[in-house]
Structure 1
Amino acid sequence: MDDKMKSVGQMLIGRNLTIAFAESATAGRLSADFSMIEDAGKFLKGGITCYDACLKEDLLQVDASLIKIYTPESMEVTQAITLGLSKLIDADIHIGITGLTAPGGSETQEKPVGTMFIYATHHNELAFSERLNFTGSREEIVTATVLACATMLEDYLTSVDN
């Protein structure tokens, strides 16, 4: 586990904040990595893996038309899964992640494989959102996304009070 993850975990504990994840492209990796931090039970509420679009619709209540218009791998859908997550899991911080880790999704020249979307809220207000672009294997893209998310979360927590 990366020291960045441990640092973020300690920051969440120190600020008495809880967190939950809705993960598509990272398929639970963020939740799993955070669960390995000592005292994770003090901050990690849980996560939902919503790899397939039907789970985004059925479980997280994302409107099918939003997915049809913007594709499952988009900032609009990432925002929607984060909102849906907040209705299912009570936490201070909610983070949603979608993206393209391999060919076969909605990739285009403007949105190639390696394009990832992160959307985070804190007390239901936007904390940060980012479109990222990575290259490499599926594993490398997911690992880079998890680290980028941890870095953004660390930066955000450093910049705000509870």
Structure 2
Amino acid sequence: MPSENTIKCSNAIKVKKMNIAFAESVTAGRMAAEFAMTPHSGKILRGGIVCYEVFVKEQILHVPHAAIEKYTPESAEVTQILAQQASKMFNSKITVAVTGLAAPGGSETKEKPVGTIFFHIITPSDQIKHREIFKGSPEEIVLQAVDKVSELILINLQSL
């Protein structure tokens, strides 16, 4: 069942007559799935792409290999490119891209520990860049990321 934040966010997107699409790496489709379970999903959810592996980021979403080499697949810079590409692909009013580290084995470092999530959200009025470190199991980290996206979009929509 989606969180209260996600349901509120879905309602706000419907009220504003907008739609939403996702480019998901670390969350592997969970964001789109959570929004799909909200009462207004048929009116707001455009779709999403899971770009977990670098191959998909490069070959389908056209993230330059040089950007991945320079910044790592889990970075603010790559997340921004994913959002821009998905926005074009889905022609969506709101586009969310998310990368990060929910479990060991990626590009984690002392400065970028497991739990670090990068968000880039494109709305009609803004581009929201957010980085946060969550604690918990991989599923808990992913669900906290879904909630954070809902919160960031709600704040932005209030200003429209």
Residue 127 of structure 1 deviates from its aligned partner by: 2.9
Q: Secondary structure at the match of 1:54?
A: helix
> Which residue of 2 is the match for residue 90 of structure 1?
91
Q: Work out whether 1:135 is the aligned partner of 2:112.
A: no
Task: Give the Cα separation in 2 of the matches to 1:51 and 1:63.
Answer: 16
Task: Give the Cα separation in 2 of the matches to 1:86 and 1:14.
Answer: 21
Residue 126 of structure 1 deviates from its aligned partner by: 3.6
> Which residue of 1 is the match for residue 153 of structure 2?
153
Runs of 4+ in 1 over 4 A off after TM superposition: none
- Report if the CA contact (8 A) 2:9-2:153 is conserved: yes
CA spacing shift, 1:57–1:126, aligned 2, 3 Å = farther
Residue 60 of structure 1 deviates from its aligned partner by: 0.5
Residue 30 of structure 1 deviates from its aligned partner by: 0.5
> Which residue of 1 is the match for residue 38 of structure 2?
37
Name the % identity: 42
Q: Secondary structure at the match of 2:122?
A: strand
- Report if the CA contact (8 A) 2:96-2:122 is conserved: yes
Task: Give the Cα separation in 2 of the matches to 1:8 and 1:103.
Answer: 31
Residue 5 of structure 1 deviates from its aligned partner by: 1.0
Unmatched runs of 5 consecutive residues or more in structure 2: none
Unmatched runs of 5 consecutive residues or more in structure 1: none
Task: Give the Cα separation in 1 of the matches to 2:94 and 2:10.
Answer: 13
- Report if the CA contact (8 A) 1:127-1:156 is conserved: no
Task: Give the Cα separation in 2 of the matches to 1:138 and 1:20.
Answer: 23
Matches within 5 A, 1:35-114: 35-114=36-115
Residue 129 of structure 1 deviates from its aligned partner by: 1.1
Which string of whole-angstrom CA distances, capped at 9 and with x for unpartnered residues, describes residues 115-135 of structure 1? 000001124x64311000011
Residue 108 of structure 1 deviates from its aligned partner by: 0.4
Residue 77 of structure 1 deviates from its aligned partner by: 0.3
Q: CA RMSD in A?
A: 1.0
Task: Using structure 2 for the length normalisation, give the TM-score.
Answer: 0.96
